[in-house]
Amino acid sequence: MTGVLPESWERFLRGAGMSPEIWREPLERSALRRREHEVYPPPDAVFAALELTPPDAVRVVLLGQDPYHEPGQAEGLAFSVPEHVPPPPSLRNIFTEYATDLRRPLPTSGSLRPWARGGVLLLNSLLTVDAGAAGSHCKFGWGRFTDGIIAALSARTTGLVFLLWGNFARKKRPLIDPERHTVIAGVHPSPLSAYRGFFGSRPFSATEAARPGWVWPSLH
């Protein structure tokens, strides 16, 4: 991964009428920011979610807000961290619900790459962030780009499941055609809200029920 939009996604988004400037502008702004600040994830991981899950492989879209902003955590996939990094609290809560819902063992690694390779687009709304400053790149134009991805998937595919956890993600619902896709909206898995409806919501089994024949890839 080189920090260049994967060719499969470029073709897909151009076919949906998206101008390349929509993704080039925020990428260039984040590159300029790196000259003076620590920015996450690394340049070669900015488009990791799109690299690992091409358009024709997408079965589920799990939407996050922006990358982790602590050292060593962000790897370009929503909620995921590299294998050697302890899972942050929200991810631990995701794993708890995953294991309970699907009656599987608790994952031992915080990497969600098996999900990405198995058709789960782990898409953050913002693709870069300053170290220690959540939401710091919200005006770079990433939201316009990722909203375009959601809208294009909605319009050009059928039968996807969109998982929208928390108020921020639920605001993306108008971008999704409910006649063509399934939307599973719920509480965010953060420690502040997980006990207010995330635990016990069973989003993983609901996703499998909405996509007969597809199952969540196993995690380590």
Q: Which residues are catalytic?
A: 66
Cα 113 from Cα 24, distance rounded (Å): 25
Helix (H) or strand (E) holding 166: helix 166-170
Report how far residue 207's alpha carbon sits from residue 9's, in angstroms, rounded to the nearest whole number.
24
Q: Where are the alpha helices (DSSP H) in 35-88?
A: 48-52
Q: Which pair of tokens denotes residue 190? A: 């953060």
Q: For residue 148, how many other CB atoms are within 10 A of its CB?
A: 18
